[in-house]
Structure formats: structure tokens, C-alpha cells
Homo-oligomer: A and B are copies of this chain.
Amino acid sequence: MPETPRTGTAQLMELLSASLVAYYGDFTAASATEGLTASQGRTLGVLRRGPSAMRALATTLACDASNMTGIIDRLEKRGLVLREPSPTDRRVKNVLLTADGERTIDAIRARMHTTLAGLDALGDEDRAALAGLLERVFVRPPAADD
């Protein structure tokens, strides 16, 4: 066994895969009860943290910018989001949640019964540990230069 064997990475990736499938399925079903697709629900989830330009939204969701036009069109038609021109760059449009959009994404999360039951099984200490680990693995700031 030379150097660091990196033991457990394959198992961890397998576990993350299973976790994603479980979470994503729960999320998709919860979004459907609000009449939304999973992509529309994910978009609301990103916007829950604050307004975002169309381009930044596409980057965050890892999809092409041209997709966002249609997704935001449908969400806007239902009154869940708004497009506002940027005050500093006339090319840019900022997207933000309406009060109804905020209510909707909160309702979706409240209906994720499988995930909520899983979290329920954790004590306060384990919940804090999970939060810390997720933050370190997935929410790290983007590398300064790469």
C-alpha cells in the first residue's frame, strides 16, 4: 500500500449516489404536488438564497444559458419569479422570487417526508456534524484561480 491508499472513496461515491437518488426522488415528488417539474423546483431552490442573473443561474444549475429562458418564462408566467433589469449592466436581467415563489419552495421542502424523516432520526449533535461535513464537501468557495 503505497502513499495514501484513498480507501473508501468508491464506497463514499456509491453512498452519495444512493443519497442523491433518494433525495432527488423525494424532491421530484414534492415538486410535482405543487405542479412543478424537478428543474423548476431546483431553480426556485437556488433563488431561495437570493436573486441571480440569468447567466449565473445557468452556471449554478450546470445547464446551458438557453435553457434558463424557457424555465424562467414558465415560472414567471405562474407568478413565482420576476425578471428585473440590472441597474448597472443593461444586458443583465436579475431573477428573484416573488412571495408566492418563496412560499412554494418552502412548501416543497416541507413535503419531502422521506428526507425529513431521515433527518428526524438524527440527534442534535449528528445534525450539526452532517451540516458541517456537507458544507466542507459541497459548499466550499470556488477556487481563487484554477
Contacts and interface: CB of A to CB of B under 8 A. Distances in A.
A14 B136 CA distance: 15
Tell me the dominant secondary structure on chain A's binding face. Answer: helix
Contact of A62 (B25, B49, B115, B139): B25
B127 A8 contact: yes
Contacts of A17: 45, 48, 109
Count of this chain's copies in the oligomeric assembly: 2
A39 to B, nearest CB: 11
Scoring A45, A126, A134 by chain B CB atoms within 10 A of each residue's CB, the highest score goes to: A134
A19 interface: yes
Interface of A: 7-29, 42, 45-46, 48-49, 60-63, 109, 112, 115-116, 118-119, 121-122, 124, 126-131, 133-140
Given A13-B116, A121-B137, 20 more contacts: A8-B131, A9-B116, A12-B127, A12-B130, A12-B131, A13-B115, A13-B119, A14-B48, A15-B131, A15-B139, A18-B49, A18-B139, A19-B139, A20-B27, A21-B45, A21-B61, A22-B139, A24-B62, A25-B61, A122-B136
